[in-house]
């Protein structure tokens, strides 16, 4: 049997008559394999080519929803021209001009800027004492990466980061796979997916993601929508694929169905 279960294949076929289909994907761990350095991530070729073909269909809309800020997402994903983008866990949003929507950019106030500076200083001190850990800087957040550290060092760094940040004012600590993100803007991928659904007037949504923060998007799916978890772990999604390499089979099935 291929990577698509019979139930998933049937669910995709059932969408053949949906008026406007939104295909939204997480990037890291979904469209692209997880890598040690965020700047080295690239989408798998087969999935990227299929996403581009889907983006060219009249009644199918494609989108990427990522924890990355939009500049980083564009740099590594090279998304199709007509693909909508949601970055920074829902707080940055962009749509092509044809949708008539102004892009939402991050503009921090004085309090938020101060909170971000505090979170940055905290995580920089932690990195200094924990070999293999490193920091990623974003417009409204700072991210502690521990994937290159030993398991013991990485766990200790994450625990210390939580201890230092959980009680800080105006900072939200978001857990992910071998990362902790300290953000000063409250947003979720679920809010981003709701925005996408409204902007494109989607009648049905397919969303695939792999990380803890993707569960917020799975949580807002409606009856008839399809949620696909990439990898192991508890999930609200109805379906599962084992790893990013299997995503191309999903996208090919959707393309075949929407090209009839």
Phi (first) and psi of residue 187, to 5 degrees: -155, 160
Question: What whole-number distance in Å separates Cα of residue 149 and Cα of residue 172?
Answer: 23
| Superfamily of domain 6-105+187-258, CATH level 4 | HAD superfamily/HAD-like (3.40.50.1000)
Sheet holding 179-183, edge to edge: 134-137, 141-145, 179-183, 172-176
The secondary structure of residue 32, as a DSSP letter, is B
Question: What whole-number distance in Å separates Cα of residue 85 and Cα of residue 62?
Answer: 9
Nearest to 86 by CA among 58, 102, 67, 111: 67
What pairs with residue 60 in β-bridges?
A: 21
Query: What pLDDT shows up at residue 3?
Result: 85
Query: Where are the domains positioned within the chain?
Result: 6-105+187-258, 110-183
Query: What pLDDT shows up at residue 1?
Result: 47
Question: What whole-number distance in Å separates Cα of residue 181 and Cα of residue 67?
Answer: 9
What pairs with residue 142 in β-bridges?
A: 137, 182
Query: Are the C-beta atoms of residues 31 and 65 closer than 8 Å to each other?
Result: no
Question: What whole-number distance in Å separates Cα of residue 115 and Cα of residue 199?
Answer: 32
167 Cβ neighbours under 8 A, 6+ residues apart: none
What pairs with residue 180 in β-bridges?
A: 144, 175
What's the whole-model pTM score? 0.87
Question: What whole-number distance in Å separates Cα of residue 146 and Cα of residue 89?
Answer: 20
The secondary structure of residue 175, as a DSSP letter, is E
Query: Are the C-beta atoms of residues 144 and 154 closer than 8 Å to each other?
Result: no
Question: What whole-number distance in Å separates Cα of residue 163 and Cα of residue 21?
Answer: 43
- To the question of domain 110-183 being in CATH 3.90.1070, the answer is yes
Question: What whole-number distance in Å separates Cα of residue 63 and Cα of residue 109?
Answer: 29
Taking only the tens of pLDDT, the chain with its 260 residues reads 478 999 999 999 999 999 999 999 999 999 999 998 889 999 999 999 999 999 999 999 999 999 999 999 999 999 999 999 999 999 899 999 888 777 667 889 999 999 999 999 999 999 999 999 999 998 899 999 999 999 999 999 999 999 999 888 899 998 988 999 999 988 899 999 999 999 999 999 999 999 999 999 999 999 999 999 999 999 999 999 999 999 999 999 999 999 87
Question: What whole-number distance in Å separates Cα of residue 232 and Cα of residue 243?
Answer: 9
Query: What pLDDT shows up at residue 62?
Result: 98
Query: What pLDDT shows up at residue 107?
Result: 84
Question: What whole-number distance in Å separates Cα of residue 206 and Cα of residue 118?
Answer: 38
């Amino acid at each position: 049997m291929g990577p698509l279960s019979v139930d998933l294949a049937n669910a995709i076929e059932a969408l053949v008559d949906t008026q406007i289909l939104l295909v939204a994907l997480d990037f890291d761990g979904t469209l692209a394999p997880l890598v040690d350095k965020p700047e080295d991530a690239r989408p798998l070729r087969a999935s990227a080519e299929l996403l581009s073909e889907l983006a060219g269909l009249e009644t199918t809309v494609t989108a990427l929803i990522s924890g990355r800020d939009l500049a980083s997402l564009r740099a590594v994903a090279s998304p199709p021209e007509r693909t909508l983008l949601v970055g920074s866990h829902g707080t940055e949003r962009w749509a092509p001009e044809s949708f008539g929507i102004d892009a939402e950019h991050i503009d921090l106030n004085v309090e938020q800027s101060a909170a971000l500076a505090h979170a940055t200083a905290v995580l920089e001190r932690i990195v200094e004492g924990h070999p293999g850990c490193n920091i990623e800087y974003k417009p409204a957040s700072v991210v502690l990466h521990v994937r290159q550290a030993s398991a013991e060092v990485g766990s200790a760094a994450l625990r210390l980061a939580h201890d230092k940040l959980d009680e800080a004012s105006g900072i939200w600590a978001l857990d992910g796979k071998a990362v902790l993100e300290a953000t000063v803007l409250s947003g979720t991928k679920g809010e981003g997916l709701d925005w996408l659904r409204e902007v494109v007037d989607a009648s049905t949504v397919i969303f695939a993601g792999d990380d803890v923060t993707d569960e917020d998007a799975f949580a807002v799916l409606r009856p008839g929508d399809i949620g696909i978890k990439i990898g192991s772990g508890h999930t609200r999604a109805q379906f599962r694929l084992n790893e990013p390499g299997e995503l191309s089979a999903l996208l090919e099935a959707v393309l075949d169905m929407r090209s009839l």
